[in-house]
Structure 1
């Protein structure tokens, strides 16, 4: 029988590509998003349920998981993909944006995971795939909040891997670098108080560098989706999957460099 996957943040980018790939592979797919009424292409396909799930709305999480089980049965694979980036000098970022960053990227991920664990435990099977980032292993200027949230995803996932193993399930972490999607525009916000002129030159250089890294030169979202599918189905206890040459190089360099070498490399990368 087809297995069942639930994907958060499936309206675009990695989430959408992941939902489409699992569907093409014969899976039952629950493609969740904050505004499903705006979705037209996925709606109505056989073996594909489009439904609302806002990771910051716990009632919507409960409802989406229940609807998934009603349509297809218990979730076999959860793909925690929903997320966004708050960028800019910390001094410029409103406290509400700080809270929203962690509510989405960390607390929301934990809440969705928590919602599927009872069935994982009773069935003694299941896979959680958390979409982290290169930013989960390597920091960059003006990314303190996003970097912190993705570092948290890494730590959460690694710790939870022991709990999942105890109930017969598995944890997987996907670490993409730059991705050829609209993430840099649709799923990020840049905060900058123009009166804080001291940050201006840094902001200009970093934003230019980040746009270059998430534009046409990035890995296709379909490539990240392939890594998600492979991780979910390879049947191994492997924890991390790095996606993209930029991520491979940066993570390897960080692992082999001391702090001075690493900071010098980042400064050179952004022309600082």
Structure 2
């Protein structure tokens, strides 16, 4: 029986993945910052709910130790914890900039370094990083988020080669829009009230983003099924697009020049 450790399992994609893997007969280590608030997952068979904050090293080691003690091993690490900072870059505080990277990038680094000795000892393992099509294309007013996801893509692709000889697979799942709490816990609004130059554009883009998420977004459950395929297909495939809108946008990117594609993106937010 396989075991997966999932970060950010309290909601959205992480929670959907925890439920789906459990339904498929896997052992699940569902980690989150506030496990005391979780009332459902912990009652399921083969699910261990553990405290883990990807910016706190001590919680990472404790969650890994608890998971291995409970299930004997970990076969797959799903780096899912993350969020998006939205707003004009000029208005971003140094704290917001650092936190975006601390969670979305350095959190993945910490988790990966922590699990690798275990995977090397087992002579196998799979690391799945939840990225985004936003790691390959960009949209307005998401500068920090895109920078973090582009960093994650480069890290993952290089790591893919680095670990191949150790029989450790690295994979990236790239959702498009997802029906999650985009305007709540998953979004950090950059407040730039004093920057009048961006006010109207920010309001327009945010409204367009919300409309797009509502009209074109995939369910977290669909993304979870793509993650399961990445974890269980036994191949060395690296990238997995998740969602029809993700496929559409990436096809547009491949078929158009930079100028054509960027003009299309700009026009979508007018």
TM-score range, shorter chain: over 0.9
Alpha-carbon separation, structure 2, partners of 1:22 and 1:60? 23
Query: 1-side partners of 2:33 and 2:47: how far apart?
Result: 17
Distance 2:173 2:192 in 1: 34
Q: Aligned partners of 2:214, 2:124: CA distance in 1, in Å?
A: 38
Identify the residue that residue 179 of structure 1 maps to in structure 2.
178
Alignment of 1:69-80 (within 5 A): 69-80=68-79
**In the alignment, is the contact (CA less than 8 A) between 2:87 and 2:192 conserved in 1?**
no
Task: With the length of structure 1 as denominator, give the TM-score of the two structures.
Answer: 0.97
Q: Distance in 1 between matches of 2:208 and 2:23?
A: 35
C-alpha distance after superposition, 1:199-257 (max 9, x if no partner): 01210111011112223531110000000000010000110010112111111212232
C-alpha separation in 2, matches of 1:254 and 1:97: 30
> Which residue pairs with 2:269 in the alignment?
270
Which one is further off, 167-176 or 255-264?
Answer: 255-264
1:236 matched residue in structure 2 = 235
**Preserved contact between residue 181 and residue 215 of structure 1 (Cα < 8 Å):** no
1:183-207 CA deviation, whole Å, 9 max, x = no partner?
Answer: 3322111113212111012101110
Equivalence map 1:112-123=2 (5 Å): 112-123=111-122
1:43 shift after superposition: 1.5
Shift in Å, 1:122: 1.6
8 Å CA contact 2:54, 2:107 repeated in 1: yes
| Residue 253 of structure 2 is aligned to residue 254 of structure 1 | yes
- Matched residue SS, 2:29: strand
Give the Cα–Cα distance (whole angstroms) in 2 for the partners of residues 255 and 74 of structure 1: 40
1:85 aligned residue: 84
**Is the 1:132–1:176 contact (alpha carbons within 8 Å) kept by the matching residues of 2?**
yes
Aligned residue pair count: 270
8 Å CA contact 1:61–1:115 kept in 2: the answer is: yes
Counterparts of 1:51-70 in structure 2, within 5 Å, are 51-70=50-69
Unaligned runs of 5+ in 2: none
Q: Unaligned regions of 5+ residues in structure 1, if any?
A: none
Q: How does 1:184-223 map to 2 (within 5 A)?
A: 184-215=183-214, 217-223=216-222
Give distance in 2, aligned partners of 1:44 and 1:223: 23
Does residue 224 of the first structure (1) align with residue 223 of the second (2)?
yes
Verify the 8 A CA contact 2:13 2:224 in the aligned structure 1: yes
3-state SS of 2:28 partner:
strand
8 Å CA contact 1:184, 1:214 repeated in 2? no
Contact 1:85 1:188 (8 Å CA) reproduced: yes
Supply the distance in 1 between the matched residues of 2:184 and 2:245 (Cα, whole angstroms). 20
Match of 1:104? 103
- The RMSD of aligned alpha carbons is 1.1
